[in-house]
Amino acid sequence: MSETHPDVYIQAFNLFGIVVAFYIALLQGWKLLRGIRSYILAGWWRTNLKKYGSWAVVTGATDGIGKAYARELAKRGLDVVLISRTLEKLKRVAAEIEQEFGCKTKIIQADYTRGSEMYQSIVDNLKGMEIGILVNNVGMSGSFHPTRFLAFPNIDKVIMDTINCNMLSVVEMTRIVLPQMVERKKGLVINLSSEVGNRPYPMSLIYSSSKGFVDFFSRGLHAEYKSFGITVQCVMPLFVSTDMTHNLGTNIFVKSASDYARDALNTVGYTNRTSGCLSHALQSYAVALLLPDAVLEFVLSLKIIADFFDKIQKKDEKNKKKK
Ligand SMILES: NC(=O)c1ccc[n+]([C@@H]2O[C@H](COP(=O)([O-])OP(=O)(O)OC[C@H]3O[C@@H](n4cnc5c(N)ncnc54)[C@H](OP(=O)(O)O)[C@@H]3O)[C@@H](O)[C@H]2O)c1
């Protein structure tokens, strides 16, 4: 019987190594090209957002990322429906947008934590409108400070409010707006998830899980309705300076809401699941690479992380008192 020479094994092993290395290089190269297209080239070749229809509806539109989306959409030629809780803020932001961009606006006062009972008034208000874009932006985090599941002082309220505001709002608003998009065979639904929706984030679990839901719903909805001319995009930011993040100072990691909304809207038509901007895409890549689940769990439970969030919160409270 002839014996296989050991060199054959070495050659086979080398070949396997080359194939694996080639596959990894191809995959990373493809990711890089897609990144360049979505975050760099897309800034020059923006999708014409008016093609989806004349109106855009933005939930949670009077502050932070929602307000920035509303302004950017108005800037790009759309009329905007603003939905939030506070009437004075709605009136002020609507007047500001109309004056600055010369578009039409409509305001709807609604509190998404109230659950299914509040949607009939939204149905009535949006009746007959040609809505090309829906931005499901409204969301709440429960607590900025890292908090263990049972440690919320008002846990049952946090659970219901988060489910209503972060999850039910996305599904119900889509149910209301989608039919006329399907009828016209065009429409864009943008859902604000979060980097923490990518996988479970301990110490921010209710929020993280609700954002995971938004991601799943968006991906599935896109698959179901793309053949009807509908695009569904899931946007997953890291830190953006808003009230929710206690107005963190902006830097290369933390975006301002206006820069973020502009960059994220540039990615429409290029990607359906995005961190929204180059800085956040690179951070997301690094987090996935450097922090596998076990390391992430450990890091998030460190006191130094809790202290960091405390410090930001206290600084913001101090600044607000000064004003
Ligand atoms: N900021 C970040 O770093 C970050 C990161 C990842 C994901 N996100 C997601 O991005 C979205 C926007 O966040 P943001 O930071 O811009 O939030 P924000 O600054 O707290 O603004 C929230 C907006 O929603 C409105 N709102 C809040 N609760 C509401 C309710 N129950 N019903 C109706 N309107 C309500 C607020 O106006 P009123 O108070 O007048 O109602 C405001 O206009 C959220 O879904 C959030 O989870 C944010």
65 CA closest ligand 1 atom index: 16
67 CA closest ligand 1 atom index: 43
Cα(258) to centroid(ligand 1), Å: 14
Cα(65) to centroid(ligand 1), Å: 7
Identify the three-state secondary structure at position 235: strand
Q: In what order do the strands lie in the sheet with 273-274?
A: 105-109, 79-84, 55-59, 131-136, 187-192, 230-235, 273-274
The neighbouring-strand residues paired with 133 are 56, 188
- What's the count of helices (H) and strands (E) in the chain, helices before strands? 11, 9
pLDDT of residue 303: 85
CA distance 246 to 318: 11
Inter-CA distances, 291 with 141, 195, 215, Å: 22, 13, 20
pLDDT of residue 97: 98
CA distance 318 to 323: 9
pLDDT of residue 1: 54
CA distance 207 to 304: 21
pLDDT of residue 2: 61
Q: Which of 207, 225, 260, 285 is catalytic?
A: 207
Identify the three-state secondary structure at position 54: coil
Read off the amino acid at residue 181: M
The neighbouring-strand residues paired with 136 are 191
124 φ, ψ (degrees, to nearest 5): -60, -45
Strand intervals (E) in 10-109: 55-59, 79-84, 105-109
3-class secondary structure for 181-222?
HHHHCCEEEEEECCHHHCCCCCCCHHHHHHHHHHHHHHHHHH
Q: Helix, strand, coil: what percent of the chain each, to 5? A: 60, 10, 25
Query: What is the β-pairing status of strands 255-256 and 240-241?
Result: parallel
Cα(241) to centroid(ligand 1), Å: 11
CA distance 211 to 120: 25
CA distance 31 to 28: 5
Assign a CATH topology to domain 45-322: Rossmann fold (3.40.50)
Cα(192) to centroid(ligand 1), Å: 10
Give the residue whose CA is nearest to atom 22 of ligand 1: 60
pLDDT of residue 228: 98
Q: Which residues contact 268 (CB under 8 A, 6 or more apart)?
A: 47, 49, 188, 190, 231, 233
Q: Quick one: angle between helices 205-225 and 155-162, nearest 10? A: 20
Give the residue whose CA is nearest to atom 44 of ligand 1: 139
CB-based pocket (< 6 A), ligand 1: 60-66, 84-86, 89, 110-113, 137-140, 165, 192, 194, 237, 239-240, 242-245
Whether pTM exceeds 0.85 = yes
Query: Could you read off the pLDDT tens digit of each residue along the chain, which spans 323 residues?
Result: 566 677 888 898 899 999 999 999 999 999 899 999 999 999 999 999 999 999 999 999 999 999 999 999 999 999 999 999 999 999 999 999 999 999 999 999 999 999 999 999 999 999 999 999 999 999 999 888 889 999 998 999 999 999 999 999 999 999 999 999 999 999 999 999 999 999 999 999 999 999 999 999 999 999 999 999 999 999 999 999 999 999 999 999 999 999 999 999 999 999 999 999 999 999 999 999 999 999 998 898 888 888 888 888 888 888 888 87
Check if 207 is active-site: yes
CA distance 239 to 194: 9
